[in-house]
Amino acid sequence: MQQGSAALPKALRESPRSWLVTGAAGFIGSHLVEFLLRNGQRVRGLDNFVTGKRENLAAVQKSVGSAWGKFEFVEGDIANAEVCQQTCAGIHIVLHQAALGSVPRSIADPQITHRSNVDGYINMLEAARARGVDRFVYASSSSVYGDHPELPKREDIIGNPLSPYAASKLIDEVYAGVWFRTYGLPTIGLRYFNVFGPRQDPEGQYAAVIPRWLSSMQKGQACIINGDGETSRDFCFIENVVHANLLAATANASAFGQVFNIACGERTSLRQLHDSLQRALLKLQPKLKCMKPSFGEFRSGDVRHSLANISKANTLLGYSPLVGLEKGLEILVQSAAENQGS
């Protein structure tokens, strides 16, 4: 974390809690586990390894050293209500990251997306309520804005979802509000905008664009841009997302039952992203031969443009991005180089 967030780790260390991170072996979940352990917290992790990776947890263990003794891992599926009840026992704060991501995956198999992202999500909400959890912070997505054209995106104005994945995340937000108003469970939703960083999987059919492109560039291969390259996104480095989760976990009651955009508030086209990533890589490996990108078809279900208004998160959570796109890409490239050499 940067200096601007120094007070948060200090407050956590002074008042340790018990945390449950679902999707703990995933990209975002493993970074949350690492941050919490580094700051003296007791952490339980839950993952079924459908998309999470054991090597992510191994990387965390190596990073945190003796603090690993405060980590307990449960291998299980949130679609199993009993597993959710068991893992929420004795927990103060839930950081719910477990989900099946990817718009294309949800279009190919909407039922499995619903099983994890809706059925499993409700299991977690109900387990948190039954076990008296103090706070339930959950991952939502910018995909809920759907076809609404307004930029920047504001939390109170959304359109029609364009994929089963987007629909599942919108349903999650609705249920979180119901569990807060009906049962008094303090819920806070975070609408992530295109998160990237170390440990993000570059392989597979549904790999995110930045790790996929970085892998291609390192191999001297041309990156494939879906569409004309003018599609734009608000890319958000993983450190910003970790910071937002911790702010939400310690926010006052004015944030309960609400959702917040978590992003940088900057719009970048895919062409610009390709050039920025290439520059970051060449800065570290100046002799690397980089190819010009090739262009493919637009992806079904993709939103054309995305840009977040982050003023609500700033006002109620105290959130502002700690790391911008260019710096985040440099950190990612450096991390990838270190991993290649290890």
What is residue 298's predicted lDDT score, i.e. its pLDDT?
86
- Letter for the amino acid at 208? A
- Measured CA to CA, the distance from residue 259 to residue 30 in angstroms comes to 22
Residue 84: the pLDDT is: 98
pLDDT per residue over 45-67, tens digit each? 999 999 999 999 999 999 999 99
pLDDT recorded at residue 3: 33
As a whole number, the mean pLDDT across the chain is 93
- For position 4, what pLDDT does the model report? 41
> Residue 341 — pLDDT band, cuts 50, 70, 90?
low
- List C-alpha distances in Å: 188 to 85, 116, 157, 246: 20, 19, 18, 11
Higher pLDDT, 244 or 340: 244
Strands 232-233 and 268-269: antiparallel
CATH of the domain spanning 3-195+236-265+302-323: 3.40.50.720
Taking the model in full, what pTM does it have?
A: 0.94
pLDDT surpasses 60 at 342: no
- pLDDT tens, position by position, 157-167: 999 999 999 99
Residue 303's nearest CA partner among 203, 159, 97 is 159
Q: What are phi and psi of 307, to 5 degrees?
A: -155, 130
Q: How far is CA 288 from CA 213, 214, 226, 333, in A?
A: 14, 12, 24, 13
The full set of domain ranges for the chain reads: 3-195+236-265+302-323
Q: What is the pLDDT of residue 260?
A: 98
pLDDT at 2: 39
Q: Is a pLDDT exceeding 50 seen at residue 239?
A: yes
Residues annotated as catalytic are 165
- The string over 190-207, giving b where at least 16 C-beta atoms fall within 10 Å of a residue's C-beta and e elsewhere, is bbbbbbbbbbbbeeeebe
